[in-house]
Structure 1
Amino acid sequence: MGTKTVVIVGAGTGIGFHTAERFGKAGFHVMLTARNRGRLEQLSSDLQEKGIDASHMVMDAASEPAVKRVADTLKEQETEIEAVLFNAVGGTPEVPSQLSTSIVMQDLQVSIGGMLHVFQHLRPLFTDQATFLVTGGAFSLEPYAPFASLSLNKAAQRNLTRSLHDEMEEHGLFVGTITIAGMVKEGTFFAPDKIADAIYSFYEKRPAFETIYKEPSA
């Protein structure tokens, strides 16, 4: 294929879309993946209208067969993956005393199962210096009881990211997480386009396994 590709897993209208746009403006081919076909079609169309080389494939990261199908298709297309943003997470809102174990396991299948599926099946398509980034959140550091499942899922993702980072470092691959220490909202420091700029900068610099995106102190 020749062109560098970024794969956005769990693409939506916020961080996923704006990160795709940021990489696209830098000359990347953008591959969007998510479960909702209609949303993917609209996001791809919106990016193409901005002059960005974008395509999409429906994929449920929690399903290993679904991830393998996408990986096989990308291999057939001779895709070279330079970067991945894993932006999928399970997090059913509930206090811990009311959380069922089945819900917790279902959420973890998205957050951790999905992350492993994507990394393991896409890795053969990575370039020698590829980057695998995970969207993190402050709940991974400071859990919030009403979102107990999201908190533990983000903590688990951060833990797995660190383990992958340490394992892959000697292979030239970079695995990292950008921990967003605030609520994503348009028109603020935590606007998705600003976070996308930070993600791209993180991709370029690869300073450490984690960067914390937080508002500067006054």
Structure 2
Amino acid sequence: MPTIAIVGAGPGLGASLARRFGRRGFQVALLARDAERLDALARDLAGDGVEAEGFPADVGDRPSLIDALRAVERRYGTVDVLEYSPAPSGATDPRLAPVHALDVTVADIQPQVEHYVYGAVTAARQVLPGMIERGSGTLLFTTGASSTLVFPPMGNVGIAGAALRNWALALNASLADKGIYAAHVPLATFIGQGGPETSAETIAEVYWELYTTQAEPERLYSTV
């Protein structure tokens, strides 16, 4: 069975991605900081017939992320799809609070770069060698829309998201002849805070379509 590793798995988009891929025969590795919440999510998914297991990791702690992905590979053998969507953590970590472009400082940018860019690079480099050896694999990177659109209130977040976007697109161009697909999904919506088009289930369909068609290196999802 193929395996998807969801980095930043939670009860919203991560859970919906797990169900969407899991119902199509994927084993699901859930990576996030809170082991108890991961176990609860895995039990919930099991009730829907999805094989899932939690692997605690913190994207800001690169050794823990490497260890978790190694554990995923020991458990499932391979990671066929890596989805990287670390949740915005400004509410729980003041270092990650958004700062307006007029006020942003180097100290405001660095934690965002660690959160988005360093974590993504660490995760991808852990699974890429196996993908290259097999000649297949998919890397999906999620950011907010400030990575592609002008939105001054997210000054520091946009800088980091734009850097991740640039790298994701460069990866796709570099890996196409190796049978590996990479895509960037900037989300211009507040998940679950509107009509059906804002639901995590609806958004998860975009990721499934990107995975199955591999036709676009980027898909902006906007409900605003």
Question: Under a length normalisation based on structure 2, what TM-score does the superposition of the two structures give?
Answer: 0.87
Q: CA deviation at 1:139?
A: 1.3
Alignment match, 2:183: 176
How far is the alpha carbon of 1:155 from its aligned partner?
A: 1.3
Alpha-carbon contact 1:79-1:125 (below 8 Å) kept: no
Structure 2 match to 1:68: 66
Matching residue of 2:160: 153
Question: Of 86, 105, 112, which residue of structure 2 is paired with 1:107?
Answer: 112
Whichever residue aligns with residue 38 of structure 1, its letter is E
Is the CA contact 1:140–1:152 (under 8 Å) kept in the aligned structure 2?
yes
Displaced runs of 4 or more, over 6 A: none
Letter in 1 for 2:173: D
**Worse-superposed segment, 19-28 or 58-67:** 58-67
Matches for 1:1-218 after TM superposition, within 5 Å: 3-77=1-75, 79-88=77-86, 91-126=96-131, 127-185=134-192, 187-215=195-223
Q: CA deviation at 1:89?
A: 5.8
Write the distance in 2 (CA, Å) between the matches of 1:172 and 1:4: 16
> How far is 1:70 from its partner?
1.9
How much identity, in percent, do the aligned residues show? 23
Aligned residues: 214
What letter corresponds to residue 172 of structure 2 in structure 1? H
Aligned-residue Cα RMSD (Å) equals 2.0
2:92 aligned residue: none
Q: Which residue does 2:91 correspond to in 1?
A: none
Q: Summarize deviations over 1:6-51 as a string: whole Å, max 9, x none.
A: 0000111111110111000101000000112222122111111111
Deviation (angstroms), 1:215: 5.0
Using the size of structure 1 for normalisation, the TM-score is 0.90
Gaps spanning 5+ residues in structure 1: where?
A: none
Q: Which has the higher strand share?
A: 1
- Residue 146 of structure 1 aligns to a residue whose secondary structure is helix
